A and B are shown apart, each in its own frame.
Chain A
């Protein structure tokens, strides 16, 4: 009994190792890179321009099917490529009947990319709160880091002790504004490489969102009064000279919002069936449009919004994932499941299974029969001892089969 259990453990461990490393080798040999196209709305021809990186020569076309060279496509996206065009001396001085100033173009351009592993990543919940109005005009990293449990505590880095004054004043300020301790989500942009500082956006236990920053050493706390229906999943704050929005809010039900400077109004932005834990989002902004791409494993949805955030056009394109290509189809028959410890969707190590039980069932049965006949043929292999091996082979196919072959017992 004891022996039998240990043998099963040995089988499980072998299957575990093989389910990780055999598919990894398989994909190292057969994988071909699949890159999502880069799609942007052109302010010159008022339709989407698609750049397909899967072609050998980077291949650009519009919705009507006209193709362009890279050089030509630069001119179709003059706001995105203003530096290139200016260097070539062909930056248009007006677009859509509006005179264009390079300064304005630069200020209005932005690029926000949110990858699934940026959403709720591993974190150490201590945050530096920068002084928003530094005496010498230059942002600097502070000596104090804060945590928000029963109060907002500031800890001095050099001494590793709590700073009573800051702790008291910020805790009081939060309490006066009705903050329900402890904090659920704390998000800021703890960097000095930004034009100014907007501090942190902090969701409390009642799912209210607070804006907290430090101005001349004093707390600045505002309840943003977001609607009760919106519960924060993740926030991405980044200060921009444009001062239109503080950052992006992803709600629990996977909607995307900008937190606007206009009294913290939440501006919903088109997001299709976005899933924050699976999909990439790319938000491009320029003088005329907001260009939102939701990139999934097998398709991309792109929305062009005007500056009032109304959808003016949308685009969809799908492609084959690696599991739909030849090598992928074979893998679905060959491997009843595969296991990875890391994922491109998260920074956490875990056992990430991918099951193909239905497609692999017949192949499993073949392995089962081969193993059973091998046991029958090799009369010196103990029948009874091999029952678990046979069952595991039936369940885990190729992995169990190999494990059974190498760890078989002679009677």
Chain B
């Protein structure tokens, strides 16, 4: 039962996941090629100077928005088919608790999303260590983590938005809330800007995870 459910989730999102992975890989390879190019055209130490002293972020750019996009895409692929034509009602009538099924779906989506992020991080880190010492790698992690946190937040918010039955008012409010929650996280600041506050923002994004409980409850009761 669980296996079948997970397989169904995977069927829904597999092309999306693969495309997002591919986008990450293309983007990261591009970033590194560009870095390699500038290091050859200018001098490596000049690029180090720009990076450490002037605070240039060679890895920002599209990479800021890719985690956001993947969260959005996976959430849509998973839940759009469910809410169109009210299929979610059928799904929730399987011999399992409604909460269990939804939790399974969202948990699986979250796991896939984190796995995608992990692959992206590993690749970026691996390639960057060719050009930079650990100090920069740590700084890159701290600087880019909020973007990925923003991606998780979007995923959780969008699932709650999809399950939410009242289109007109409530969904729009949730969309506005999601926008303002995520926007500060996928903004580019100077490097290490979140060095003292990552835990706080992590807790804040965790708060968005259970929002689907409310939507689910409203769905069950049939609020329109």
Contacts and interface: CB of A to CB of B under 8 A. Distances in A.
Contacts, number: 115
Nearest to B210: A6
A277 B179 CA distance: 32
Nearest to A13: B207
Nearest to A147: B135
Interface centre among B48, B99, B146 (most CB of A within 10 A): B48
Interface string B174-198: 0001001100100001111111110
B200 A351 contact: yes
A350 B52 contact: no
Interface in A1-46: 2-3, 5-7, 9-10, 12-14, 16-17, 20-21
B130 interface: yes
Nearest to B49: A141
Contacts of B211: 6, 9-10, 13
Interface stretch (A124-132, A229-237, A362-370): A124-132
Interface in B166-224: 170, 173, 177, 180-181, 184, 189-197, 200, 204, 207-208, 210-211, 213-214, 217, 223
B210 A157 contact: no
B133 interface: yes
A141 B51 CA distance: 14
B23 interface: no
B46 A141 contact: yes
B210 A145 contact: no
A160 B39 CA distance: 12
B194 A3 contact: no
A122 B191 contact: yes
Contact of B210 (A9, A127, A144, A407): A9
Interface residues of B, number: 46
Given A17-B180, A349-B189, A349-B193, A124 B139 contact: yes
A126 B48 CA distance: 9
A52 B151 CA distance: 48
Interface residues of A, number: 42
A145 B177 contact: no
Interface string A127-141: 110000000000001
A142 interface: yes
A155 interface: yes
A350 B177 contact: no
B133 A122 contact: no
B197 A351 contact: yes
A342 B185 CA distance: 12
Contacts of A2: 99, 210, 213
A126 B136 contact: yes
B43 interface: yes
A87 interface: no
Contacts of B44: 143, 157-158
A145 B184 contact: no
B73 to A, nearest CB: 23
Contacts of A9: 207-208, 210-211
A122 B131 contact: no
B45 interface: yes
A121 to B, nearest CB: 8
Given A2-B210, A6-B213, A16-B204, A128 B49 contact: yes
Interface centre among B131, B177, B195 (most CB of A within 10 A): B177
A347 interface: yes
18 contacts: A3-B214, A7-B214, A13-B181, A17-B180, A20-B180, A122-B190, A124-B51, A124-B192, A126-B133, A127-B52, A128-B45, A143-B44, A157-B44, A342-B189, A348-B194, A348-B195, A349-B146, A351-B197
Interface of B: 39, 43-49, 51-53, 99, 129-133, 135-136, 139, 146, 170, 173, 177, 180-181, 184, 189-197, 200, 204, 207-208, 210-211, 213-214, 217, 223
